Amino acid sequence: QAFRDACEKQEAFEKAVREEGRRTLEWLEKENRTAVVLVGRPYNAFSKTANMGVPRKFASHGVAIIPYEFLPHDDEEVERTMYWSYGQSIMKSLKYVKRYPRLFPVFISNFGCGPDSFIQHFAGFTMGSKPMLYLELDSHTADAGIGTRVAAFLDIVSGYARLGEQEPVDRGFRQAEFIISNGKPCVRSSAGELVSAYDPRVTLVFPSMGKMNTEAAAAAARMIGFNAVAMPPVDDRVRALGKCFTSGKECSPAVFTVGALMDYSSRLHKKKRNDEIMLFFMPTTNGPCRFGQYNIYMKALVNMLGIEDVAVFSLSAANGYGGVGNRFLTSAWQGFVISDVMRDIRSVLNVLAEDKSDALRRFDEEWQKLLDAMDRGYTATWRALKKTAEALGGIKINGDPRKLPKVLLTGEIYVRSDELSRRGIEDAYADEGIMVKISDSTEWIYYTDWHYLNRIAGNGHSWHDALTGKVFRKHLARAILRRDTTSRAFVRGRLKLWFEESVDKKARRILERSGLVPLTPHKIQDVVATGGFFIRPALTGEAILTAGSAKLVFEDHSTDNFCGVILIGPFNCMPTGVAESVVKPYARQQGIPYLTFETDGGPMPPNLRSQVEVHILRSKIYAAEHQPGPRAQ
């Protein structure tokens, strides 16, 4: 009853503010006046402390200011890709303001707001030539500076009101786009021609997301007929280029991938053939991480710059994984698993090889042979992998990889895989006899598949139950006897997960013959269950994986000889911050050497280098005091 009463009060309040907004709009029309609409998250835009008195500053100039919640914007269309609820409200209100000539928006944000780093761009694209004031505030913002910007904005509004809305100039530009036609992947060129994505004119470009992962994905794409290329690892030049086309508020993976897009389009696109169509690979998600906005921003950027014959290609369940079929998905998964294990092997050689330079040279040769096999297909890759295991087994090492002291590098999936973001931190540990184990890239894929099954299972099942035979048999029976669509989806998802696990086990079993595989990975359900010690599993995202893996490797049953944890993430990454808030105090309590590595891809600052040196020393002491066996609980 209390809840129903509260809902009624809230509905009455919302009705009252909309009525007040209607009266205000009528008054503006009658008096021939303009007004400012206050846009942003209510907890900072409407708080007199957080908004630094911005509404009063406008009022002191005799300008009416209206909170965006007063506007009747519910019927405005908003893109489905805007998965943040406040983002939807903000974009709806801006679309309403854009159409209403007497209203001008003031968008109030705060320092470090991840979603607003992208919403700011989309707001600008929506408003076009109509003035909008964007204020990023915090407790250190100078009051005088705010007053100056308010006055300047009102001058611009006054000039705009005199000139009126200018008709946009027709550029004659048509943006290329990726589409599915008759179940097949195609590209609509800037000339309007429908071209198969497998056409030699189309180049599928994979931005670097870790050298080996990217090369494996490109090889899988070539295997099914794409003209695919893997961009090299990001360097300082590409990083600087990405900064030219971003605001500096986005997370570093966005900067790097935008830099890769602009690097290829400006330096390589149409250089070999004039009719080349660039198809830029950029995955997507449904939030809450900003990653799902990358491809949306890239499309808007290409359109704004008028770059011809450049389209963005995103795989998702919604578009049938781009129509590429199971051959690509199975081969790509095979490549990801192999690249994860090979990365571990390289880390072992970096520490234990008698002749490190020769060992790494031979490793690179074997990896290239694997890529050549991936180009030929799934079966050829398995045959090549057996030869690779035999060849790597001939490299002389000093010590047992399983007894090697290890530090776990976990955190945000992109930066932990990206060579520039890591800035060679693994080499500093290798020089001191410690292997840096980078969390597998397949971890996130396992997690999304497994979370999908848990969501379908429902009915109060625990996070372990969805993977048991009992639940599977129940859904299998429903799928067969009742033709239940939900149960069919569950069965398909569970079979997919079984396939992924079987490929993972096979790849590791083959490469273990080399004697260089340092450990056995933990199951995803164990990672999530352990992370549940810190974070409710219902709070989905990378944070629970980071926290769970950091704790799990130090559980009492672990024999992998871990002696420290590094948590890496982009600057101002919220999931990384959430994980740090729970892992850091736990590590301190248990005496586990811990280091936070917040990166934007720039050179490692001196204070962080000092922290790394201290962490290496603490990790060596921990390794000496804790042989494989009981661990902290």
What distance in Å separates the CA atoms of residue 194 and residue 176, rounded to the nearest whole number? 10
Domain extent, residue 474, equals 333-399+443-520
Q: What is the DSSP string of 374-415?
A: HHH-HHHHHHHHHHHHHHHHTS-BSS-GGGS-EEEEEE-HHH
Spatial neighbors of 591 by CB under 8 A, at least 6 apart, are 622, 632
Structure-token match 């149960």, residue found: 487
Q: Indicate the pLDDT class of residue 464, thresholds 50, 70 and 90.
A: low
pLDDT reading at 460 higher than 50: no
Within-domain flag for 172: no
Tell whether the torsion through CA atoms of 377, 379, 382 and 385 is positive or negative: negative
pLDDT digit string, tens, across residues 315-358: 765 555 556 778 898 999 999 999 999 999 999 999 999 999 99
On whether residue 328 sits in a domain, the answer given is no
CA separation for the pair 528, 536 (Å, rounded): 9
Residue 168, in any domain of the structure: no
Structural domain contains residue 171: no
The torsion angles phi and psi of 559, rounded to 5 degrees, stand at -125, 25
Q: Share the mean pLDDT of the chain.
A: 91
195-248 residue pLDDT tens: 999 999 999 999 999 999 999 999 999 999 999 999 999 999 999 999 999 999
Enumerate long-range contacts of 209-212, CB under 8 Å, 24 or more apart. 209/414, 209/417, 209/418, 209/441, 210/339, 210/417, 210/418, 210/419, 210/441, 211/419, 212/339, 212/342, 212/343, 212/367
Instruction: Mean pLDDT check: name the lowest of 370-384, 395-409, 485-499.
Output: 485-499
On whether the CB atoms of residues 292 and 286 are closer than 8 A, the answer is yes
Q: Which residues pair with 339 in a beta bridge?
A: none
Q: What residue spans of 518-573 are helical by DSSP H?
A: 524-531, 542-552
Among 323, 342, 368, the domain-final residue is 323
Distances 108 to 25, 67, 160, 199, 310 between C-alpha atoms, Å: 22, 11, 21, 47, 34
Q: Are 119 and 85 in contact (CB under 8 A)?
A: no
| Of 493 and 470, more confident | 493
Q: How far apart are CA 169 and CA 304, in angstroms?
A: 13
429, 555: one domain: yes
Indicate whether 515 belongs to any domain. yes
Domain stop point among 520, 536, 555: 520
Residue 556 has pLDDT above 80, yes or no: no
Query: Do 151 and 26 lie in a common domain?
Result: yes
Contact in structure between 423 and 604 (CB atoms under 8 Å): yes
Per-residue pLDDT at 194: 96
The answer to whether residues 53 and 184 belong to one domain is no
Within a domain: residue 169? no
**pLDDT single digits (tens) 346-397:** 999 999 999 999 999 999 999 999 999 999 999 999 999 999 999 999 999 9
479 DSSP assignment = I
Residues 6+ positions from 96 with CB-CB distance below 8 Å: 71, 72, 73, 76, 103
CA distance 301 to 306: 8
CB neighbour class for 501 (10 Å; exposed up to 12, middle 13-18, buried from 19) = middle
Query: Is residue 631 over pLDDT 50?
Result: no
Number of domains making up the chain: 4
Q: Is the pLDDT of residue 470 over 90?
A: no
CA separation for the pair 552, 529 (Å, rounded)? 9
Q: What is the pLDDT of residue 317?
A: 58
Distance CA 121, CA 303 (A): 13
Report whether pLDDT(632) > 50. Answer: no
What is the structure's pLDDT at 488? 87
Contact 100, 36 (CB under 8 A): no
Are both 44 and 153 inside the same structural domain? yes
One domain, residues 374 and 457: yes
- Reading the block at residue 235, the tokens are 């360097």
| Cα 119 to Cα 100, 112, 247, 250, 259, distances in angstroms | 20, 13, 12, 11, 20
Phi and psi of 272, rounded to 5°?
A: -85, -35
Last residue of a domain, one of 288, 323, 358: 323
Quick check: 35 and 7 in contact, CB under 8 A? no
Which tokens in the block code for residue 150? Answer: 């308010």
Which residue is it, tokens 């308010």?
Answer: 150
Average pLDDT over residues 71-81: 89
Q: How many CA atoms lie within 13 A of 2 on its CB side?
A: 0
Mean pLDDT of 460-470: 55
Say whether both 280 and 375 belong to one domain: no
How many whole angstroms separate alpha carbon 431 and alpha carbon 427? 6
Same domain, yes or no: 529 and 624: yes
User: Quick one: 435 and 412 in the same domain?
Assistant: yes
Confidence at residue 231, expressed as pLDDT on a 0 to 100 scale:
97
For 553-565, what is the mean pLDDT? 84
What does the pLDDT average to over 152-171?
84
CATH of the domain at 626: 3.40.50.11900
Residue 630 has pLDDT above 50, yes or no: no
3-state secondary structure of 173: coil
Closest CA to 191 of 170, 203, 179, 177: 177
Q: What percent of the chain has pLDDT over 70?
A: 95
CB 534 within 8 A of CB 377: no
pLDDT by residue (tens digit) across 568-616? 999 989 999 999 999 999 999 999 999 999 999 999 999 999 999 999 9
Residues 371 and 415 in one domain: no
Same domain assignment for residues 159 and 303: no
Please check whether residues 62 and 155 belong to one and the same domain: yes
Whether residue 54 has pLDDT greater than 60 = yes
Per-residue CA distances from 360 to 194, 365, 431, 519 (Å): 45, 9, 15, 20
Q: How confident is the model at residue 463 (pLDDT cuts 50, 70, 90)?
A: very low
Quick one: pLDDT at residue 461? 44
Of 289, 282, 248, 207, the residue nearest 546 (C-alpha): 289
Torsion of CA 526, 292, 47, 135, to 10 degrees: 140
Q: Is residue 170 part of a domain?
A: no
Burial class (CB in 10 A: 0-12, 13-18, 19+), 12: exposed
Rounded CA-CA distance 328/339 in Å is: 16
Residues 370 and 386 placed together within one structural domain of the fold: yes
Task: Quote the CA–CA distance of 498 and 508 in Å, as a whole number.
Answer: 15
In this structure, is residue 188 part of a structural domain?
yes
Can you tell me the distance from the alpha carbon of 30 to that of 261, in angstroms, rounded to the nearest whole number? 50
